[in-house]
Amino acid sequence: MSGDDHHEHLQTARTLSEALPYMRRFAGATFVVKYGGHAMGDDELASTFARDIVLMKQVGINPVVVHGGGPQIGAMLDRLKIQSSFVDGLRITDQATVEIVEMVLSGSINKQVVTAINGAGGTAIGLSGKDGRLIEARKLEHRGRDPESNIERVLDLGFVGEPARVNPELLHRLRSADVIPVIAPIGVGAEGATFNINADTAAGAIAAALDAGKLIMLTDVAGVLDGDGQLVSRMTAGQAAAMLADGTIHGGMIPKIETCLAAVADGVGRAHILDGRIPHVLLLETFTEAGVGTMIDPA
């Protein structure tokens, strides 16, 4: 064995030794992982993600995956020449659009994730929020200002919804069967209508309903940055709320932090915002002393 090989194997052994107390601490815990962004669009990262999810399950953690799929939805709508527009980052979703959204999320994307996890040695089953009425949804009321009159009004986004109730019984049964749920963020309305739900929001609601130990959100940024552009590794919910109020947290990070704050307020142990572009980021955050990304504590 060469010196380089010996050093590599020694480092692997040290990493496993460092991971042991975290494995013991988190055994039996439920982690809800929101999967999307670059991590889902890159084949190598997708394969790494699947292996990491299987490893979590193998050491006694119960992962629940909630995935997005905005770029794939947009590509399919373009292919079918269905016009789509956005208001404040939310896709206006008419009847034709919601059918495509459901087809892409519950069909091709969901099964790709399931296939990857099963290929890595796990047992995954794909669901949407309509299965077992997992996510009962209501129409999302979005307020915005008319650009001409500056008058605030309620904007009709069509079949865009938000979770009204999460029914976790099906997920409890899958946990008992050692199955990894992979969930598409599609909800069902009181009259059976289909609603498109933001994947971050769906993941937060599911984490709260399961009393999850962690809500982990994979993004395309390093985490939360302070006013100087430096990564904030750890913050309390109060500190995060203050950074929202003073504008330090802005843009696309706002709804993610709001989701994290709602989750920890509803009993989720901790929320994490991680850079999904980093290989094995789930393992680095969960099983190493340093961790990566930003962790939000309830207090």
- The band of 182, judged by pLDDT with boundaries at 50, 70 and 90, is very high
pLDDT tens string 225-236? 999 999 999 999
Residue 133: predicted pLDDT:
96
- Tell if the pTM clears 0.85, that is, is over it: yes
Q: Quick one: what percent of the chain has pLDDT higher than 70?
A: 91
Q: What is the mean pLDDT of residues 124-133?
A: 97
Number of Cβ within a 10 Å radius of residue 240:
23
Is 152 buried (19+), middle (13-18) or exposed (0-12) by CB count in 10 A?
Answer: exposed
Residue 36 φ/ψ, nearest 5 degrees:
-175, -170
pLDDT tens string 40-80? 888 999 999 999 999 999 999 999 999 999 888 889 988 99
Is 248 buried (19+), middle (13-18) or exposed (0-12) by CB count in 10 A?
Answer: middle
- Give Cα 270 to chain centroid, integer Å: 14
Q: 3-state secondary structure string, 49-83?
A: HHHHHHHHHHCCCEEEEEECCHHHHHHHHHHCCCC
- The band of 6, judged by pLDDT with boundaries at 50, 70 and 90, is low
What is the CATH number that goes with domain 28-288?
3.40.1160.10
Number of Cβ within a 10 Å radius of residue 211:
13
Between CA 93 and CA 157 the distance in angstroms is 6
In the chain, the amino acid numbered 198 is N
Q: Is the pLDDT of residue 148 over 60?
A: no
Q: Is the pLDDT of residue 256 over 80?
A: yes
Q: Is the pLDDT of residue 288 over 90?
A: no
Residue 45: predicted pLDDT:
94
Q: Quick one: what percent of the chain has pLDDT higher than 90?
A: 68
Residue 188: predicted pLDDT:
97
Beta strands in 104-159 (DSSP E): 124-128, 135-139, 142-145, 152-155
Q: What is the mean pLDDT of residues 103-120?
A: 96
Residue 10: predicted pLDDT:
75
Q: Is the pLDDT of residue 145 over 60?
A: no
Is 200 buried (19+), middle (13-18) or exposed (0-12) by CB count in 10 A?
Answer: buried
